Structure 1
């Protein structure tokens, strides 16, 4: 390791995205930018050592340290994310980032000439990635650290090719949505779909909405068409004070309510997935694998 000061010097003038060591950034990039690719593959020290020819000075007792090369992940052909730059948990803590072995990536802090991606979209993606991976962000000004709470993204959507009827859905989800009531489609709508709403005294409102939608998340374009469909089964949470959803440090009561509703949301979506198939996408636009969905459903 080179130390936090040396790492920051290499990333001077850039926003810095920190993710847990070994995180595969490419699928996370393609979830928002389907054409993302490695314009330059990163080379680890071990790979550099393995590729070094076994001739010359090494055999005269002179050890030459292998050189790590940072990669360049192109989001759209012009905007690049450069890294990884590895730091250990102690170095991450010194940078006021989550104290874990991490990979750091540099993001442009100003508009890239000729780029079509708005800077806000790139920083929005980085924030979503930090939340998804329990990572963090150092803005270019280095005046603060942004560490989004991974537990704050509780809403889930199942995208399926199978349209389940109300009669199909009710007996499946009511064990997890006790006291839920059927809501008819909104006046003037297409007439397709329905909603189930359950309101709780302390925990707010959970709603399952089913509708056919043309507005699908970008990540679905990276999957085989047989793995999803136009039917969206959205399970969302509305706390008693919606403003707390945007707070970096919500009240303890909000956190307790969120902990109670999160498993219910996962159970509803897991039940629907077993009945209809499809792909689950979280509030950040990333695919949620079945193992994670089951873990959320078992959480206490």
Structure 2
């Protein structure tokens, strides 16, 4: 196991993304960068051990370079992410990262010549990955770790091939948002499918809005999935807390957190119900596909 000082020395000058051990980083990369690929596959511990230099009199004088276990994940043929470098929970805790066995990856901290990626896109992706997986980021300056709150991302969007009429969606959504007053904000002409917006207002927890609209701009991640598994109709289920400014705070108030805990299962129930009726693929606010099992698990939380 690599100790923290050795890891940081290896990744000196790079931002460091920490994700739970065994996370499929290539899959998460393709959600934002469809052309992402392993330019060099990571080597397992067993493969690295088998490739150690040969010893003994028979092999004296034969130079065998040790195998670098880290892989190189190319995002666009110019920007590269290196890793994984394993770190145990104690080492992660010492770096103020979530205390779990994790994999570390180095990301460029300076502009990369020849890249077509917009400035900040890679660090934005790394932040979204850290939030999605419950990981963290060490900036190149090593001032302090950035640990996004995974629970902060509650909004979900169902991308479906099937449009629903407002009058058909209303009885589906109402039970999932029980205890609230559900009223149409704007609707399509009577009998027309799609194009509606419904709002559920909670006295202390803010507003949950369900919007359905056809869109020509889909998340990048849908380009990596079967076209038959999604469609152009976006059912966006979003939450506006009593104080919207708290959405951008790294440490919101306890009242905000309690309200979020109450509405998050309702949002998942709405999406699960709509998916069972209209089909499609669920994408979270970070641009990653959310499996149906996870949506159901979120809906069961009380």
Structure 1, unmatched stretches of 5+, are none
Which of 173, 176, 184 aligns to 1:182? It is 184
Shift in Å, 1:94: 0.9
Shift in Å, 1:51: 5.8
- Equivalences for 1:189-268 in 2 at 5 Å? 193-268=195-270
- Do residues 102 (structure 1) and 102 (structure 2) align? yes
Structure-1 separation of matches of 2:201 and 2:231: 29
User: Residues 58 and 10 of structure 1: is their aligned pair in 2 closer, same or farther, counting only changes over 3 Å?
Assistant: farther
* Secondary structure in structure 2 of the residue aligned to 1:119: coil
Q: Deviations over 1:118-157 (max 9, x none)?
A: 2300000000000000000000011111000000000000
* Secondary structure in structure 1 of the residue aligned to 2:217: coil
Q: Deviations over 1:163-217 (max 9, x none)?
A: 111122111110122421012149xxx9950011011111000000001011110
* Secondary structure in structure 2 of the residue aligned to 1:263: helix
Shift in Å, 1:232: 0.4
Residue in structure 2 matched with residue 139 of structure 1 by the alignment = 139
Do the aligned partners of 1:110 and 1:119 also contact (CA within 8 Å) in 2? no
- Do residues 49 (structure 1) and 49 (structure 2) align? yes
Do the aligned partners of 1:45 and 1:68 also contact (CA within 8 Å) in 2? no
Q: Give the RMSD, CA atoms, in angstroms.
A: 2.2
Structure-2 separation of matches of 1:157 and 1:93: 34
Residue in structure 1 matched with residue 85 of structure 2 by the alignment = 85
* Secondary structure in structure 1 of the residue aligned to 2:298: helix
Do the aligned partners of 1:34 and 1:219 also contact (CA within 8 Å) in 2? yes
* Secondary structure in structure 1 of the residue aligned to 2:197: strand
Shift in Å, 1:50: 4.5
Structure-1 separation of matches of 2:260 and 2:79: 36
Scaled by the length of structure 1, what TM-score is found? Answer: 0.93
Which deviates the most, 170-179 or 280-289? 170-179
Structure 2, unmatched stretches of 5+, are none
Shift in Å, 1:243: 0.4
Do the aligned partners of 1:160 and 1:278 also contact (CA within 8 Å) in 2? yes
Do the aligned partners of 1:111 and 1:118 also contact (CA within 8 Å) in 2? no
Residue in structure 1 matched with residue 37 of structure 2 by the alignment = 37
Aligned length: 294
Scaled by the length of structure 2, what TM-score is found? Answer: 0.92
Residue in structure 1 matched with residue 112 of structure 2 by the alignment = 112
Residue in structure 1 matched with residue 300 of structure 2 by the alignment = 298
* Secondary structure in structure 2 of the residue aligned to 1:180: strand
Structure-2 separation of matches of 1:191 and 1:167: 9
* Secondary structure in structure 1 of the residue aligned to 2:295: helix
Structure-2 separation of matches of 1:94 and 1:59: 44
Structure-2 separation of matches of 1:278 and 1:211: 14
Do the aligned partners of 1:15 and 1:106 also contact (CA within 8 Å) in 2? yes
* Secondary structure in structure 2 of the residue aligned to 1:42: coil
Structure-1 separation of matches of 2:161 and 2:273: 16
Residue in structure 2 matched with residue 73 of structure 1 by the alignment = 73
Structure-1 separation of matches of 2:40 and 2:145: 28
